[in-house]
Structure 1
Amino acid sequence: MSWWNNQAALELFPLLLEGFRITLLATLLGSLLALTLGLVFAFIDRTAPEYIRRPLGWVLQFIRFTPPIAQLFFAYYVIRPNLGIGVDALTVGIVVLGVHYATYNAEIYRAGIEGVPKGQWEAVTALSLPQGRAWFGVILPQAIRRVLPSLGNNVIILFKEVPVLSAIAVTEMVRVGKEYTSDHFAFYIEAFTIAGLIYLVASYPTSLLMRKLEVRLGN
């Protein structure tokens, strides 16, 4: 095939897989941060006094409604050097993506908490359960079960957002492809076709799993 170079494809594949390792690491750590921090935000929104909840809500809305790449540039080129924070680009990217998607997860958790039947809240009150036991033993297990598919979908979205980290020189998979094509001034089709297929192979089965999980939980 004149439009496809097998030799370039064979050279690219292991390079892209190495870049995919960085992509996967950023996805896993960013998702863990987003899931944990989102739950903290939702808990504060439900239990904290208004003088804490209101400012936090403004901050979360600002983060949610501004693009991740703008937050990435601000964190890497403004906050990091001016505060003298000695962290690498990958760490900055993980934190920015984690915090950004935590704001969406907070809304998902909030919907799950509000969806817990009123009778469960009344039972917790009637039994005089300690707050920690009431939340972690009764409320949150029911809430998280309801929203687990939505949280899983956010993980997939974050996974597909990782290429923005190339803007601050993180050598994830798409940047590896860009660097290879820039060095050779060719092989764009090979690089980005293989990268796209790797993304498809990684994300499509996960999407199917989330769909099955949603149906099962719904039943």
Structure 2
Amino acid sequence: MLFGIEWDTSSNWLFASSILPILFKGLVVTIQATVLGFFVAAVLGLVLAALKSSRLRIISWPARLITEFIRDTPLLVQLFFLYYVLPEYGIVLPAFLTGALALGIQYSAYTSEVYRAGIESITRGQTEAACALDLSPLRTFCVIIVPQAIPRIIPALGNYLVSIMKDVPVLSVVSVLEMLNVAKIIGDRTFNYLIPLSMVGGLYLILTLVASAAIRHLDQRLPKQGIPLK
């Protein structure tokens, strides 16, 4: 029994149906960690991209160093650092939040490069026109550059969304009860690993197919010339 749910091991079908509710609980945690991790990666990646595109080296160089450091260190090391080291300095975060932040920070290094490529694809004439209209650099970036860059980078950002989803099982090392961890616990207690792990694989396949379809739909719907701002 786990989460107050019992399962029947008398037959494969009964066993599968009895563990499905608890796997759905792990599925909810997986989706929540994916959404929060991607949100952190998207926002922090945009900030890093903006800093790296600055003409001031005192701003752009530290941002590049931070990006390289994040990208060149393993996700597991960053997760352990947040979970085990920060409490020594009085910063204690729940396991779920720690895991989602670790995912977001790790992938922010990759999304920042995606944003950078999208920003650099915008012609310099757009910036020059904004300067002629006496728009501040911040307003130019937020109102002119970003809305035109985002539609061009949706497929790449979508790929990282799927990658984050598939990396969520790493959070099991800090006791987050996502799908794979739940399936492992069920296998440990029933000595039947085939069915729960196969079901988790099937659920992940469904998740990735749905996410990929949503990304393709969004990519087709967004105007390539940029998102209109009212």
- TM-score, reference length from structure 1: 0.91
The whole-number CA distance in structure 1 between the counterparts of 2:90 and 2:26 is: 28
The whole-number CA distance in structure 2 between the counterparts of 1:48 and 1:30 is: 30
The whole-number CA distance in structure 2 between the counterparts of 1:174 and 1:67 is: 20
Indicate the larger mover: 51-60 or 204-213: 204-213
Q: Please report how far the alpha carbon of residue 47 of structure 1 lies from its aligned counterpart in structure 2 after TM superposition.
A: 2.3
Q: Is contact 2:34-2:165 (8 Å) kept? A: yes
Indicate the larger mover: 165-174 or 131-140: 131-140
**Which structure is richer in relative contact order (CA contacts within 8 A, separation 6 or more)?**
1
Q: Given the alignment, which residue of 15, 38, 41 partners 2:48?
A: 41
After TM superposition, the structure 1 = structure 2 runs for residues 123-202 of structure 1, keeping only pairs within 5 Å, are: 123-185=129-191, 187-202=192-207
More helix by share: 1
Q: Please report how far the alpha carbon of residue 96 of structure 1 lies from its aligned counterpart in structure 2 after TM superposition.
A: 0.6
Cα-to-partner distance string for 1:74-103 (whole Å, 9 max, x where unaligned): 221222x21122211111101111111111
Q: Please report how far the alpha carbon of residue 211 of structure 1 lies from its aligned counterpart in structure 2 after TM superposition.
A: 3.5
The whole-number CA distance in structure 2 between the counterparts of 1:135 and 1:118 is: 12
Q: Given the alignment, which residue of 80, 90, 97 partners 1:84?
A: 90
Cα-to-partner distance string for 1:174-219 (whole Å, 9 max, x where unaligned): 000000111122x211101111111111111221332454466669
The whole-number CA distance in structure 2 between the counterparts of 1:132 and 1:84 is: 35
The whole-number CA distance in structure 1 between the counterparts of 2:91 and 2:68 is: 26
Aligned to 1:16: 23
The whole-number CA distance in structure 2 between the counterparts of 1:62 and 1:27 is: 22
Gaps (5+ residues) in structure 2? 1-10, 226-230
The whole-number CA distance in structure 2 between the counterparts of 1:137 and 1:58 is: 27
Aligned residues: 214
Cα pair distance change 1:107/1:11, threshold 3 Å: same
The whole-number CA distance in structure 1 between the counterparts of 2:217 and 2:31 is: 23
Aligned to 1:31: 38
SS in 1 for 2:28: helix
1:208 lines up with 2:200 in the alignment: no
Gaps (5+ residues) in structure 1? none
- Alpha carbon RMSD of aligned pairs, Å? 1.8
